[in-house]
Amino acid sequence: MTETTGPVSVPEVETKPAEAVQPTGATTQPVTEETAKPAEATKPAEIVIVVDESEVINYRGKDLSGKDFRGKDFSGKDCEGANFAGTDLSSANFENANLKGTCLDGANLENANLTGASCDGASLEGTNLEGANLTNTSLWRADLEGANLEDTNLDGANLISAKLKGAKLEGARCTLNTKWSDGLTPEKLGVVKKK
């Protein structure tokens, strides 16, 4: 190893600027004040997916009045505040559905399954519920004036504060688990009490 003291001369080397490599098909644009600005945040695109109506899970607030939904499966669906006025829902399945505040005025729910459904505050004026299964259905503060509830199963249903003026309940069945407003008894309404 050789040690040197003093200035060392370094030979001059010719240097060239490196050439920029562009991907195939790329173009360059001159940098201007406008192109040098950072990109602004953009909103994500709204994606609209069209599905078969039978695939819909949320019917909340929808106007479905006058439609034909015979035998349709609404089990577990959110129908809160929907309008089913005058709709044919015979043999439809509303098991464990949310029907709070729903309008079912004049609808046909003959032989429908509403087991465990929440119909609190729903309007069912003049609705045909003949032969419907209302086991454990909550009808708290529901309006059932003039409704046909003949031959319905009311086992465990909550009818506290429900409006039943003019409702037909002949042949409807209930148990000790059925909840009635004070002063109402199954016997007064023509309901058969099961053991």
CATH number at residue 94: 2.160.20.80
* pLDDT given at position 8: 52
| Position 184 pLDDT exceeds 90 | no
- Give the mean model confidence (pLDDT) for residues 82-95: 98
The string of pLDDT tens digits covering residues 115-140 is: 999 999 999 999 999 999 999 999 99
Q: Count structural domains, the chain.
A: 1
Question: Does 13 map to a domain?
Answer: no
Confidence bin at 149 (pLDDT 50/70/90): very high
In SS3 terms, the chain reads as CCCCCCCCCCCCCCCCCCCCCCCCCCCCCCCCCCCCCCCCCCCCCCCCCCCCHHHCCECCCCECCCCECCCCECCCCECCCCECCCCECCCCECCCCECCCCECCCCECCCCECCCCECCCCECCCCECCCCECCCCECCCCECCCCECCCCECCCCEECCCECCCCECCCCEECCCCEECCCCCHHHHCCEECC
Q: Which residue has the higher pLDDT, 187 or 114?
A: 114
Question: Does 36 map to a domain?
Answer: no
* pLDDT given at position 109: 98
